[in-house]
Structure 1
Amino acid sequence: MTEPLGGTEPPGVFEVSGTFDVLRVFCGPDGRHGNELGVVRDGARLRAVADRQAFAGKLGFSETVFVDDPERGAIDIYTPTLRLPFAGHPCVGTSWLLDVAELRTRAGAVAARHDGEFSWITARAEWAPPRTLRRYGTAAEVDALDVPPPGEWIYAWAWEDEAAGRVRARAFPGRDDGIDEDEATGAAALLLTHELSRALNITQGRGSQILTAPGPDGWIEVGGRVRLVQAGAAA
């Protein structure tokens, strides 16, 4: 379950400032696009949920990660308004940044590996927040969609080449937090892979690329390219 602003812990006295890294996750073949991610490596300096939520809201990325233990890969994930037990592009990006073989999320342990230009995580579809997977007849229909009004979280998709597993997708979070369209969403790709029971090569947003592959016992791999945009940015 997601948790609303403030969570269950009392607010701290931390002033909403500090440094963080900025990554782009699920970049296209040319290294462009991808979904921006903020990573606070020294998460211990913001212990209260309310402080972390305020910082994530100030940054305004679709997700921000706080690293609680870099050696164990323990992380805490936030949107601008919600705390998440798991999310795809934060796990892919943070595992690449920390160079760890496993991440500890509130949903469970996420295995990670790096294979040349791609970074991969292994997770379960039931860890992903609820999404409406809405299929369209053609990729052109998906391209032509307007941003829907706030409400349900919609993952709009269509086959570009069904035989090859190539998908065109766009993601509309349906939240009133300034994120009208999510450029690349690993959790939604996880759900679509689970529903279709096959490996996928997804082009999402303006040109981001997400690769997936179902594995044994309900585990699914999600992978993509990660690029460092800025190290030690100041808030």
Structure 2
Amino acid sequence: MTIEVSVVRVFTDDDGEHGNPLGIAPADAVPDDADRQALAKHLGFSETVFVTDPADGTAAVRIFTPATELPFAGHPTVGAAWWLREQGHDIAALDTPAGRVDTRVRHGATWVRARPEWAPEFALHPMLHVDDVVHAHPRDYPSGPNYLWAWEDEFEGRIRSRMFAPDLGITEDEATGAAAVRITAHLRRSLLIRQGHGSHIRTVFGDDGWVEVGGLVRPERTIRV
């Protein structure tokens, strides 16, 4: 059976450049978890998401890296919510193994709302200068996941970041929504994050402990496997 995998880029900049590629596959086409893991490894994206048909404004999603399943991740949920709306579905929430992820659209950006503890435990590495982040090398961080960051403008809440996660089968992630949730909770403020080669991630810190993470999504291609 041929499986159609939609590929989108999540957290692009305002010109639609950069962003983290995401594979999106129908869950009913790959019902077995072992097959889902094998497909995620074959595709090689940092994450591949398997999406059920929505019911009553909610769709269930499962998220796999090339090496393991994640209970929650940011760019797969943002990308899946955007993609479902593009398919004509009125989506209010996604059911992940971690919990219910509410979603909305504002000013063209797709947002999801999550608990920081749903995200993996990232080792946070504050750097003195942006250049320290830019010139870091994944080989110096053999375990993980590691999140390197520095202020671009502390007053405006802008940071520069990179993420290395060899334990998850990801040498370097171009844009990491779950890490954005974690650093937002850690700093207790809303942020504009520039990660990787130039991906843009926005967050909103809530006093209730929830964090919203959002950004722009662009379609890229369809893969048949």
Name the TM-score class by shorter chain. over 0.9
Counterpart code for 1:51: D
Aligned to 1:201: 192
Instruction: Give the aligned partner of residue 73 of structure 1.
Output: 59
Distance verdict in 2 for CA 1:122–1:145, change over 3 Å:
same
TM-aligned CA deviation for residue 176 of structure 1: 7.1
Equivalent of 2:132 in 120, 124, 141: 141
Alignment match, 1:228: 219
How far has the Cα of 1:168 moved from its partner? 0.3
Q: What is the one-letter code of the residue matched to 2:13?
A: G
Which residue matches 1:28? 13
Give the secondary-structure state (helix, strand or coil) at the position aligned to 2:38: helix
Aligned equivalent of 1:218, options 199, 209, 222: 209
| CA shift in 2, pair 1:216/1:67, >3 Å | same
Aligned to 2:167: 175
User: How far apart are the structure 2 equivalents of 1:176 and 1:65?
Assistant: 15
Counterpart of 2:197 in 1: which secondary structure?
Answer: coil
**Do residues 82 (structure 1) and 68 (structure 2) align?**
yes
**Contact 2:8-2:21 at 8 Å conserved across structures:** yes
Q: Of 73, 86, 96, which residue of structure 1 is paired with 2:82?
A: 96
Could you list the per-position Cα deviations for residues 101-147 of structure 1 after superposition, in whole angstroms to 9, with x for gaps in the alignment? 11000000000001122110000100001110100001011111111
The residue type equivalent to 1:87 in the other structure is A
What root-mean-square deviation, in Å, do the aligned CA atoms of Structure 1 and Structure 2 show? 1.3
Contact 2:65 2:168 survives alignment (8 Å): no
* Number of residue-to-residue matches in the alignment: 217
CA contact (8 A) 2:20 2:75 kept: yes
Which piece of structure 1 moves more, 203-212 or 45-54?
45-54
Structure 1 position 30, deviation (Å): 1.6
Could you tell me which runs of 5 or more consecutive residues in structure 1 were left unpaired when the two chains were aligned: 1-14
1:54 counterpart = 2:31: no
Structure 2 runs not aligned, ≥5 long: 86-90
**C-alpha contact (below 8 Å) 2:159/2:193 kept by paired residues:** yes
Q: Is the 1:154–1:174 Cα contact (8 Å) retained in structure 2? A: no
1:156 matched to 2:128? The reply is no
Contact 1:150 1:176 in 2 (8 A): no
Cα distance in 2 for residues equivalent to 1:67 and 1:125:
22
TM-score (norm 2): 0.93
C-alpha deviation, 1:216, in angstroms:
3.5
Within 2, Cα distance between the matches of 1:206 and 1:92? 19
Write the letter of the residue equivalent to 1:173. A
Q: Which shifted more, 158-167 or 143-152?
A: 143-152
Q: Partners in 1 of 2:131 and 2:16 — Cα distance?
A: 24
Deviations 1:74-93 (A, max 9, x none): 11100011011100000000
Q: Check whether the contact 1:128–1:191 (CA below 8 A) recurs between aligned residues.
A: yes
**What fraction of aligned residue pairs are identical, expressed as a percent?**
47
Aligned to 2:5, the other structure's residue is in SS state strand
Aligned to 1:12: none
Distance 2:207 2:95 in 1: 21
The TM-score, its normalising length taken from structure 1, stands at 0.89
